[in-house]
Chain A
Amino acid sequence: MNRRRFLKLSAATCAALASLELENKGIFRPVASDAATCKGLPGSLGAKEVTSVCEMCFWRCPIVAKIKDNKLVKIEGNPKSPTNGHRVCARGNSGIQLLYDPDRMKYPMKRVGARGEGKWARITWDEALDEIAHNMKEVKKKYGPHALAMFDHGASAEFYREIFRATGTENFSNEPAFFQCLGPVSMAYLTTYGYQVSERVDMANAKAMLFFGSHLGENVHLSHVREYMKGLLRGAKLVVVDPRFSAAAGKADMWLPIRPGTDTALILAWINYVIQHDLYDKEFVHKHCKGFEQLRKSVRDCTMDWAARICDLNVDDMTKAIKMVAEARPRVSLHPGRHAAWYGKGDVQRHRAMGILTALFGSVGVPGGLYFPTPIHLGEADCLGEDEVDDLIEDVKPPETSLKDGYAFADIFPGSPTDAIIKATKTGKPYPVKLWGVCGVNLLQTISNPYQTMDAIKKLDFIFTIEVLPTEPAIWADIILPEATYLERYDAVHKKGNLYPYVTVRQPVVDPMFESKPPYWIARNLAKRLGYNLFTCKDEREFLNEQLEEIDLSLDKLSKAGGIVTFKANPYKDLNKPLGLNTDSGKVELYAESYDDEDLDPIPRFEPVPAPPKGYARLVYGRVPMHTFSRTMNNLWLSNECPEGKLWINDEIATRIGVKDGETVIMENQAGYRSNPVTLFVTAGIRPDTVYLPHGFGSRSPLLTKTYGKGASDQFMITNYRQDPFMGASGHRSNFVCLIKDGKKLSIPELRPLPPEIPRFKMRKAS
C-alpha cells in the first residue's frame, strides 16, 4: 500500500467526506475521532473534534473545534447544525486568536496607580474575590442595595447577574446591549404584537424585503444572512432605505438614500398610500388588527409629496418602491431592525410604524413575514438558586425615586437605563451609585458620551471588571478578574427557538489558560463570600444536566447526537383563527391604548430631529463584517483583515472641500471634541449631509497591542444624545462633525436644501 492510499483510507475513518453540493448534507461524525491514526494529516484533517458554541458574537453559532496535540487548530461550523452547518464567519474562524492572544488577562489584578492609568499588581484569586465581596458588602451597608450596579453582556453574565439580583439592587442587569441597541424595537413590537419579534422575519420565503438601515452582509449573523440570501436567490425584491449605500443596498432592487432622522415620515406616507390605494390586506386587518380607523385618520395628511420633501427623496422612487413591496403581500419581510437607538426621541415610534406597515401587508404568521418563536422549555436549574434569591430580596425596599422613573415602560424590562445609572453615579442623584461590576461590556466604546462615563467612574467607591482582554474598562478597574474564553468553559444550555429550533451546549475545547477561570466557578466563589447560597451544583455539568433533564436530554445524550438536537418549528399561524396575541386586545395593536394613558402618541407621528448645523455633517456608524462591536479589534487575524474603519464621505463634498480618498483627517464634533486621525473613503454611496464610520476602532487601551490607537472611535464623537421616553434607550445619531486637515478646519457645505419643518441643531461649545 503506498503512502497516499494509506492516508486516504485513514482519513476516511477520521473524517466524513463532504460532498460538493451547495447545501450542507455532510454526515456528522462522533465528537472525537481516533487521533492516533490520523497523525500526519495536513491542515486540520484528522484532528480531534469537540462540539461547542461560538461567542465571537452573540449570535452563537454551533461549532466544532479541531484539536491537534492539545492545541486548537481550527474552528468550523457544527455540520449537524440546521442553521450554519459547517460554516462559520470571519470572526468565528478567528476564535483561535482570541484564545491564544498574548495580550489576554492572565491573572487576577489589582490597581496600583490612579484609576485609568492601567497600573496593576498581580494578586491571588482569594485576594481578588475577598476584596470584591468586602466592597460589595461595605457599599450595601453604607448606601443601601441600589448603590450597586452591574453592566453585563454575553453568555457568562447570566451567572453574575444572579449575584447582583441577590443584593436587592434594582440595577442588576443593565445590558447596554439593550439600552443602546435593541430596546426601542423590542418595546415597539411588544406593544404591537405582544412578543419579542427581534429578528424573527422569514426572509427565505419572502417575495419582497424592506430594510430601514439594516445592513446585512456588513452585519453578519450567519443564519440570518443565509435566510436573506436564500430569499434573494428565490427572486425576492429588496428595497433598502439608508443614507448610505450599504452591502445590502448593493444587492437591492432599489436604494432610497433617505435624509437621516426622517424614516418615520416615509413610513407614515407609505401607510397612508397603501390604505388610499387599497394595497393592504383587508381581511387580515379586519380579523386581526385593532385601531385601523384611528390609524387611517391619523395618517391621512401624510402625503407622498410631504414625505418626499422631508425625507429628501423622489416621489416616483418612493411610489415605485412601496408598490414593489405591496405587490408581494403577504410575503413581505419588513425587517424590524436591530440597533434601534438612533435619536432617542422617536425611535420606538419609528419601529411601531414599521410594525404597523407589516400588519397592513398581513405579513404576520405566514411564510415570508414575521414568524412566531417555538419555545423550548428547559429545566429551572434550581441550583442557580433563583428561589433563594427571591427570599433574599423579599424585604428589600424599592428606592424612593427609581432610576426607571420618567420612563413610562422601563419597569417591564430588567435593570435600569444605562444612562440613568451613569448620571446617578456622577451626580449622586436621585440616589448614590457607588459600586459597578462590569462583565463583557466595553463601557467606553459602547455608551454615549464616554467622557461622562469616565467622570462617573472617578466618583465610584469601587469598580471591578471580569475580562478576557485588557479593554478600556479594565484600565479603569480596581480589580480585574481574568475570565476563561468561550473556548475554555461551559455556559448555560444554548437554545434557539427560531425557524430551525435546536438545543446545544458550549463546552471547553481546551483547558483554561493561565489563571483564567470559568464564570460558574467565579460566580460560585463570589456568592459564597457574600453569604448567598447560590450555585449549589458542584460543577457546570451537573447544572447543565438539570437544565436538560426537562426535555429528556443529558450531556451524554447530546454528545452522542453530535452536540446538537433539533426540534420541529411552529412558526406560522392559522389566520382563520384569532391570533391570541399577548397584547391588551389579543390582536395586533395598530392603536396603542397603553401609550395614550401615558401621554404618548398611540399612533406614530413624525417628530423631526435636528439637522446638522451649518458646516457639519451627521455622523452615522455601523459594522464591518470582520468585527464584533469593539470586541474583536485586537484579534491578530481580524485586525490584519480590517485594522481600522474608514470614514465614508460623499464624493461631491470631498471635491468641494479638497480632500481625497485615502487621506487622513481628524473629526471635530459639535462640542469641540476631536478624534484620532482617520482615513477617508470617498464614495458616491453616501449622502452629502452624512458621514459614516464603522464602529469600535480607535482603542484607548495601550495594553491591546494590536489595535491601540488604530483608527478613530465613533463613540468618542458621540457626546450629544437623548433618551427615548418609553424605556430610556440612548440615541447616538445626533452628533455632527466637521473635518480637520493639516490643522485647517474644513466645513461641510450643505448641498441638499433643508425644509422648514426640520429645525437645525443649535451649537453650544463644550465647557
Chain B
Amino acid sequence: MSQYAMVIDLDRCVGCHACALACRAEWNIPVPYRRNWVKRLGPAKTPYGMSYTFYPGLCNHCDHPVCVEVCPADPVKREFTDSKTGKKITMEIAATYKDPFTGAVLIDKERCLGCGSCVEACPYGARYLNENLDNPKADKCTFCMERVEHGEVPACVKTCITDARIFGDLSDKSSDVYKLVHEKGAKRLTSSEVNIGPNVYYMGSKKDLHLLAEKCTPHEKTWENVKAPTRRDVLMAAIKMVTEKA
C-alpha cells in the first residue's frame, strides 16, 4: 500500500510563499483561511549560528491521525480501490478518514457535520472551518489527490520556484521522497508529546532545522486533551445537517 509524502528542503526554500498562493488559487480557498502556509522564522540565534528560515506547512497526512479518531460522524462502510492494482478494501469510516491505498487523510464533505472537532484536534493547525458559511465544513490540504489521480503533481509542488518541495510515494523505494527520507535523513516535525507519524518531512542545515523545531514543534495536544464536542454539540450539528438536506 502506498503512502504519499512530501519532503521540504529548507536549503532550497527561499521563503517566497508561491506554494501558499498556488494552493489558494487551485482550490479557491477563501481569505483568511489556508490549507498551505509559510511562516517566516528568524533571523534568530541558534547554537549553530544565526538562522533565517521558513516553515512551509500543510496537512501531514499522519500515520495515526488524531483528526480521524475524533470525528464524531456516524461511520459508514466504504469500498476503496487501489488505482494501481485494482485491489479493493471495504472499511468503516467517519467523515474524515485515511485512504488505505494512498495514505492521504481526506474529508467526506457530504457527511462532515462541521462540528470542528478535527480542527481542534490537529496539533499542526492544518484544518479550518469557514465560520462565514451557513453550513461550514472542515477543510484542509488533500495532497492534491484530485490532481494526482490525473497524473499531475500537487499545485504547491508545481509552482515551487526552487523545487524545494518533493512529492511522491514513500512506499516506493525508487521514489525521490523515499531516498530523501531514508538516505538523506529528512525529518518529521514531531516532539516527545506529539508523535503521530506526520508524512511531511523537512531537511536542511542544522541551524535551520533547529529553529524550525524550536518554533514550530507541535503543541502538546494529544487527543485525550482535545476539547471534544459534547454529545449535544454533535446532535445539534447532525440535526442541522438533516434539516438543511430536507
Do A and B come from the same complex? yes
- CB-based contact A44/B26 at 8 Å: yes
- CB-based contact A93/B167 at 8 Å: no
Cβ of B47 under 8 Å from chain A: no
Binary interface profile of B, 11-47, with partner A (CB < 8 Å = 1, else 0)? 1101111101110111110011000000000111100
Q: Which residue on chain B has the smallest CB distance to residue A684?
A: B45
Cβ of A266 under 8 Å from chain B: no
- CB-based contact A8/B168 at 8 Å: no
Give every chain A residue within 8 A of B50 (Cβ-Cβ).
Answer: 245, 249-250, 255, 684-685
Interface residue from B20, B152, B163, B168 paired with A641 (Cβ < 8 Å): B20
Q: How far is the CA of A323 from the CA of B218 in the complex (A)?
A: 43
Cβ of A15 under 8 Å from chain B: yes
Given A18-B151, A89-B18, A684-B45, answer yes or no on A637-B158 (Cβ-Cβ < 8 Å).
no
Binary interface profile of B, 144-165, with partner A (CB < 8 Å = 1, else 0)? 1011011111010011111100
Q: How far is the CA of A245 from the CA of B50 in the complex (A)?
A: 8
Cβ of A449 under 8 Å from chain B: no
Give every chain B residue within 8 A of A220 (Cβ-Cβ).
Answer: 14, 16, 161
Chain B contact residues (Cβ within 8 angstroms of A): what range? 35 or more
Give every chain B residue within 8 A of A22 (Cβ-Cβ).
Answer: 163, 166, 176
Q: Shortest Cβ distance from A54 into chain B, in angstroms?
A: 12
Q: Shortest Cβ distance from A143 into chain B, in angstroms?
A: 47
Cβ of A121 under 8 Å from chain B: no
Interface residue from B53, B146, B153, B176 paired with A18 (Cβ < 8 Å): B153
Cβ of A43 under 8 Å from chain B: yes
Given A683-B44, A684-B43, answer yes or no on A251-B11 (Cβ-Cβ < 8 Å).
yes
Q: How far is the CA of A54 from the CA of B176 in the complex (A)?
A: 31
Main secondary structure of the interface of B (DSSP, over half): mixed
Cβ of B96 under 8 Å from chain A: no
Given A84-B161, A87-B159, A250-B43, answer yes or no on A11-B16 (Cβ-Cβ < 8 Å).
no
- CB-based contact B52/A42 at 8 Å: no
- Stretch from A70-78, A295-303, A411-419, A558-566 forming part of the interface with B: A70-78
Give every chain B residue within 8 A of A11 (Cβ-Cβ).
Answer: 150-151
How many pairs of residues, A versus B, come closer than 8 Å at their CB atoms?
161
Given A22-B166, A45-B150, A93-B159, answer yes or no on A636-B31 (Cβ-Cβ < 8 Å).
yes
Q: Which residue on chain A has the smallest CB distance to residue B23?
A: A93
Interface residue from B16, B24, B166 paired with A637 (Cβ < 8 Å): B24
Cβ of A4 under 8 Å from chain B: yes
Q: How far is the CA of A722 from the CA of B50 in the complex (A)?
A: 35
Point out which of B53, B158, B167 has the most chain A C-beta atoms below 10 A from its C-beta: B158
Cβ of B51 under 8 Å from chain A: yes
Chain A contact residues (Cβ within 8 angstroms of B): what range? 35 or more
- CB-based contact A93/B161 at 8 Å: no
- CB-based contact B21/A93 at 8 Å: yes
B-facing residues in A609-651 (Cβ within 8 Å): 625-626, 636-638, 640-642
- CB-based contact B152/A18 at 8 Å: yes
- CB-based contact B14/A625 at 8 Å: yes
Interface residue from B21, B146, B168 paired with A43 (Cβ < 8 Å): B146
Give every chain B residue within 8 A of A686 (Cβ-Cβ).
Answer: 43
Give every chain A residue within 8 A of B42 (Cβ-Cβ).
Answer: 245, 250, 683, 685
Given A245-B43, A245-B52, answer yes or no on A637-B21 (Cβ-Cβ < 8 Å).
yes
- Stretch from A222-230, A281-289, A381-389, A593-601 forming part of the interface with B: A222-230
Give every chain B residue within 8 A of A246 (Cβ-Cβ).
Answer: 52
Give every chain B residue within 8 A of A218 (Cβ-Cβ).
Answer: 15
- CB-based contact B52/A87 at 8 Å: no
Given A222-B161, A247-B52, answer yes or no on A90-B14 (Cβ-Cβ < 8 Å).
no
Point out which of B28, B151, B166 has the most chain A C-beta atoms below 10 A from its C-beta: B151
Give every chain B residue within 8 A of A642 (Cβ-Cβ).
Answer: 17
Q: How far is the CA of A582 from the CA of B146 in the complex (A)?
A: 56
Q: Which residue on chain A has the smallest CB distance to residue B160?
A: A87
Give every chain B residue within 8 A of A42 (Cβ-Cβ).
Answer: 146-147
Give every chain A residue within 8 A of B27 (Cβ-Cβ).
Answer: 43
- CB-based contact B52/A233 at 8 Å: no
- CB-based contact B25/A87 at 8 Å: no
Given A22-B176, A640-B32, answer yes or no on A247-B15 (Cβ-Cβ < 8 Å).
yes
Interface residue from A86, A683, A685 paired with B159 (Cβ < 8 Å): A86
Interface residue from A12, A18, A94, A233 paired with B21 (Cβ < 8 Å): A94
B-facing residues in A80-119 (Cβ within 8 Å): 84, 86-90, 92-94, 96
- CB-based contact B21/A90 at 8 Å: yes
Name 12 interchain pairs, CB-CB below 8 A, sorted by A: A7-B150, A12-B151, A17-B151, A18-B152, A84-B161, A93-B159, A250-B208, A625-B15, A637-B21, A640-B32, A641-B17, A685-B52
Q: Lowest 10 A-B CB distances belong to which pairs?
A: A685-B43, A217-B14, A250-B52, A17-B151, A93-B21, A11-B150, A245-B43, A42-B146, A90-B17, A625-B16
